[in-house]
Amino acid sequence: MKYSAKIIGTGMYVPKRIITNKYLEKFIDTSDKWIQEKTGIKKRRVSEKGELGSDLSAKSAVEAIKNADLMPEDIELIILATTYPDMTTPATAAIVQKKIGAKNAAIFDIRNGCQGFLTGLITASKFISDSTYKNALIIGTTQHAKLFELTGWKDRTKAVFFGDGSGAVVLKRCETNKGILTIDMGNEKDKSHLINLPFGGMASFENPNAFEDPILGKPMEGKEVFNFATTNVPVSIKKTLEKIGKKLEDLDFIILHQANINIIKHIMNSLNLPMEKTYVNINKYANMAEASIPVALHEAIQAEKIKSGDLVALTGFGVGMGWATVVIKWG
């Protein structure tokens, strides 16, 4: 029998340490005014030394499980989306599993950048829809800012944009006309080089001189990324709605990846939807990559922006020039 999957609990965690734009002026040829105008970012959270992705993940996971009225041992599957695993192997999801006591869960990691959380959400929904599992924990975690601090805040094209954090959701089996209704995933070919972090990959060991920086990679092409996101995201959202016979005006709320306030505004304008139908927290957290969507979703729910019966779209986009959209009948 086929089922659908719905979100029954959300959670988040951000490090306590706050780094402002003013602070970054000491290290980078930039200004608080420029960063706010170009991105909407005022500050970001940065992990402490010794604070690993598994620590952030465990804290957001515990809150999501609690809000789902479950116990850690009830969780059957853990998927962790992160660009910064604690180590190459084992999967950081296994480390999180131990930290939270989810002894009965199968686990794996996903590395798909800013759309990684939604990749995990979509993957988990398929395991639930075919009855392999009754529930799943999906976590999105990033430590982008910590990387840039450890390397001296030297990459002006990337360092100011990112923050650390973790968000998590619990999915549970439900009737097919509820929960996740439809999805869309895609990738622009020949553009994966526009955002890259080569360190840790075999190519970076074999030929580190192939990159402008063996750790931080090439400078980020901001204009290209802006054009990519504002072109593909509206199309993806429309495509998912068409699959279920809905129109843009039927959407009650949208959670967009918090990459840049100007990208968010451009996308909402392209969809002819008011900013009141989305949620923005990039000003206080910056771009949290994999954590961006689950954290924004959690805060929007806490602020009662999303209610039972709402039609909600979640859209992530970024690394690899890819995107993912999920449309959910909430509640």
What CA–CA distances, in Å, run from 127 to 150, 184, 227? 38, 17, 34
Instruction: Report CA dihedral (246, 249, 255, 260) to the nearest 10 degrees.
Output: 120
Q: CA 320 to CA 192: how far, in whole Å?
A: 4
114 is catalytic: yes
What CA–CA distances, in Å, run from 318 to 129, 175, 255? 27, 32, 15
DSSP letter (8 states) at residue 19:
E
Question: Which one of the listed residues 114, 174, 260, 298 is annotated catalytic?
Answer: 114
| Contacts by residues 298-307 (CB-CB < 8 Å, ≥ 24 positions apart) | 298/10, 298/11, 298/12, 298/167, 299/12, 300/253, 300/255, 301/10, 303/279, 305/253, 305/279, 306/252, 306/253, 306/330, 307/331
Q: Which residue reads 């009948």 in tokens?
A: 329
Residue 79 β-bridge partners: 108, 138
Structure tokens at 114: 């800013």
Question: Which one of the listed residues 112, 232, 260, 287 is annotated catalytic?
Answer: 287
Burial code of 190-223, b = ≥16 C-beta within 10 A, e = fewer? eeeebbbbbbeeeebeeeeeebeeebbbbebebe
104 is catalytic: no
CB-CB contact of 5 with 54 (8 Å): no
193 is catalytic: no
Q: How many CB atoms lie within 10 A of CB 284?
A: 16
Residue 322's H or E segment, with its range, is strand 322-329
Question: Which one of the listed residues 21, 135, 257, 266 is annotated catalytic?
Answer: 257
Q: Which residues are catalytic?
A: 114, 257, 287
